[in-house]
Amino acid sequence: MQKELTIEQLYDLDHTAAAPLLRRFTYPWEALPAIKAFILEMGPTLPAGEYELRGEDVWVAKSAHIYPNVYLAGPCIIGPNTEVRPGAFVRGSALVGADCVVGNSTELKNVILFDHVQVPHYNYVGDSILGYCAHMGAGSITSNVKADKKLVVVHAEEPIETGLKKFGAILGDHVEVGCNAVLNPGTVVGRHATIYPTSCVRGFVPACSIFKAPGNLVKKV
């Protein structure tokens, strides 16, 4: 086991409704195939006084602000006080936490967004998990399928075979991703790390570090 890549090291599970799901696993990407079923199980149990059904298997907190021209496909859950802005495309299997921002022209598919996550401008987030207070700058995306269509490997101290064809990125709590960065399949970013704008990232970025370019990684002071 590579401890730095575990759910325990990457996340404070007090900040997500997906905690019961994530506690079943060691590595966060192991939860990706189970997101859909978990939402379908959780949705009907949500308090009727706090959530409303806005379509088939689409549960939206009554305090959420859903702007016009938004597409929400089930199963999905949109948490309290979250903003989903015009042009957002939620394709399904999306568990969006409280106080999040899903921005204009942002697309979500098979994701967990912890509380206070911001994907506010032109982002694609697919087959990924974003930790508490993670932020993706304008135009930054997760690439979730390899060009050769082979199964994704996490490149860390030792390569880890995931068995997944679709796996975007795992962002720990308080990760900051700069504008127009690309997070290649199987990217894992540790807590409080920063990704420079326009970066092309692959593999594991340790906690409390700054990724400037491949081979150019520095620790925060």
Could you tell me the two tokens for 162? 């995931």
* Contact between 170 and 28 (Cβ < 8 Å): yes
DSSP 151: P
* Contact between 38 and 63 (Cβ < 8 Å): no
In the residue annotation, 121 being an active-site residue is answered as yes
Catalytic residue among 121, 135, 174, 192: 121
Give the containing element (helix H, strand E) for 39: helix 35-42
* Contact between 119 and 137 (Cβ < 8 Å): no
Task: Say how many residues make up the chain.
Answer: 221
Whole-angstrom CA distances from 141 to 3, 130, 181 are 26, 12, 7
Catalytic machinery residues: 121
